Amino acid sequence: MTEIRPMVVDLSHWDPAYDYEAVKRDGIVGVIYKATEGQSYTDDTYVGQQKAAKAVGLRWGSYHFADASPVGGQIDNYLRFAAPDGDELFCLDWEDNPSGNGMMPIENVRIWIDEVERALGREGQCVIYSGNTAKEQIHGVDPFMGARRLWHAQYGTTPSWQKSWKTYWIWQFTDGEYGPDPHEVDGIGRCDINSYAGTAEQLLAEWATGSAKPAPEPEPKPDVPEVRITTTGALNLWVNDECVVSSTRRG
């Protein structure tokens, strides 16, 4: 069983937080909120929730729920509404869409990611949310997909993911009903909860870009011997209190 370390929630108008101070006290570090869907939908709770979460010092991110409609309209919808700042995470939610518009084909997934990253000047920083869809739609190793962080969805105790990724970045282990505990977060109630394998400090550092690396350990300083020379009666060379050379002075 994989250790579960709940640090991130993902929310929408279905389950907005009512007390972000309580959310933070419960150990949550970041919030990823639904911003848009398809070519025209925008979540009317997004802006208020964004302000409330940031006011208490939580990290903020947004996601676009993809469908099979023309990808250009979906790109415009997300960029126009979410307009993520440089310190905010941005994500494409790639899964089956039960609304009737169907699932975004993989070629449009690549277009959406590429165009949004280019528009934001943030190449390689899009987070990809997926679970079974990635396993079913990606054949073999896809370098484009694998070069970006995977937000993996699987409601079980031992996650497994598509082999384009060496590992996932965060793991959505429950939707508030299925999956292992916990199913609730203070200040929200039942909701989607995500585990992060590192420390809260690491998550904060890499939140927006994914590129943060721990500071390298300082190299140990070499031992520098203490050297002194005495010339009283003889010329002596001392290293760390040991006389290593001695010669009698001649007048």
pLDDT tens sequence for the chain (251 residues): 899 999 999 999 999 999 999 999 999 999 999 999 999 999 999 999 999 999 999 999 999 999 999 999 999 999 999 999 999 999 999 999 887 689 999 999 999 999 999 999 999 999 999 999 999 999 999 999 999 999 999 999 999 999 999 999 999 999 999 999 999 999 999 999 999 999 999 999 999 999 865 444 555 555 555 545 555 556 555 555 666 555 554 44
With both helix axes pointing from N to C terminus, report the angle between 106-120 and 71-81 in degrees, rounded to the nearest 10. Answer: 30
> What single-letter amino acid sits at 236?
N
Domains of the chain and any CATH numbers: 6-206 (3.20.20.80)
pTM: 0.84
Q: How far apart are CA 216 and CA 111, in angstroms?
A: 36
What phi and psi, each to the nearest 5 degrees, are found at residue 46?
Answer: -60, -55
Whether residue 163 contacts residue 143, with contact meaning beta carbons closer than 8 Å, is answered with no
Strand partners, 33: 11, 62
Q: Is 235 helix (H, G, I), strand (E, B) or coil?
A: strand
For residue 251, what pLDDT is reported?
Answer: 44
CA of residue 248 relative to chain centroid, distance? 71
SS3 content of the chain, % helix, strand, coil (to 5): 25, 25, 50
For residue 233, what pLDDT is reported?
Answer: 58
Q: How far apart are CA 123 and CA 144, in angstroms?
A: 11
Both tokens of residue 85? 């700042």
Residue 201: its H or E element:
helix 200-206
Listing DSSP states for 76-89 in one string gives: HHHHHHT---TTSE
Both tokens of residue 174? 């429950």
Contacts of 94 (CB under 8 A, 6+ apart): 66, 103, 104, 109, 128, 129, 130, 133, 134
What phi and psi, each to the nearest 5 degrees, are found at residue 154?
Answer: -165, 120
For residue 226, what pLDDT is reported?
Answer: 52
